[in-house]
Amino acid sequence: MLRSSISKTLANASPRASCVAARPLLARAYHEKVISHYEQPRNVGSLPKNDVDVGTGLVGAPACGDVMKLQIRVDENGIISDVKFKTFGCGSAIASSSYMTERVKGLSLEEAEKIKNTEIAKELCLPPVKLHCSMLAEDAIRSAIRDYRTKRTKVGNPKKSGFIDVSQSAATGETVATAHPPSSA
């Protein structure tokens, strides 16, 4: 299992009862929730980057030892219908991003961008040195949401069904209106 080279990881620095291991403390022990995400990560994979309804967040840096790619597919109601991730990094980074993908599925963009790193850290019982991993996961979902919104502003479509496209010639002053009736259900 990948170990962080940063420092000795305290197994259970937090006094919260749910985070205390039943077995004797080891010098470097990952909480069983982190191990679960590491061994069975949820939602690993990729979505097509160029799809108009897909937002891609890419955060971190290889030199730091952590890179997270998190992608969301958003439906016409602004709900995250699908989410995939790929993470290069320690067990805590993988677990943080895996947990984030589980957490945001089915949420609106507004709800997803409110998820705080503290929630992830608490859920996974991350030790002090690994709180940065949860922050990175928070950054990743926000980056994906920002990317999706940027793509949407570039894709304005006046010829969308249900709209009337109105244009006026600057030379003649003639106005032309073209209706695009909604397609029948």
Contact 120, 134 (CB under 8 A): yes
- 19 a catalytic residue: no
| Distance in angstroms (rounded) separating the CA atoms of residues 84 and 46 | 6
| Distance in angstroms (rounded) separating the CA atoms of residues 152 and 78 | 11
Tell me how far, at minimum, the Cβ of 127 lies from another protein, in Å: 8
Q: Which residues bind another protein (CB under 8 A)?
A: 6-8, 10, 13-15, 61, 63-64, 117-118, 121, 128-129, 131-132, 134-135
- 64 a catalytic residue: yes
Nearer to another protein, 9 or 98 (CB): 9
Nearer to another protein, 65 or 163 (CB): 65
| Distance in angstroms (rounded) separating the CA atoms of residues 169 and 175 | 6
| Distance in angstroms (rounded) separating the CA atoms of residues 130 and 111 | 24
The CB-side HSE value for 106 (13 A sphere, CA atoms) comes to 2
Nearer to another protein, 6 or 179 (CB): 6
Tell me how far, at minimum, the Cβ of 14 lies from another protein, in Å: 8
Catalytic residue among 19, 90, 125, 133: 133
Nearer to another protein, 109 or 126 (CB): 126
Tell me how far, at minimum, the Cβ of 151 lies from another protein, in Å: 25
State both tokens at 134: 């949860």
Give catalytic residues, as residue numbers. 64, 133
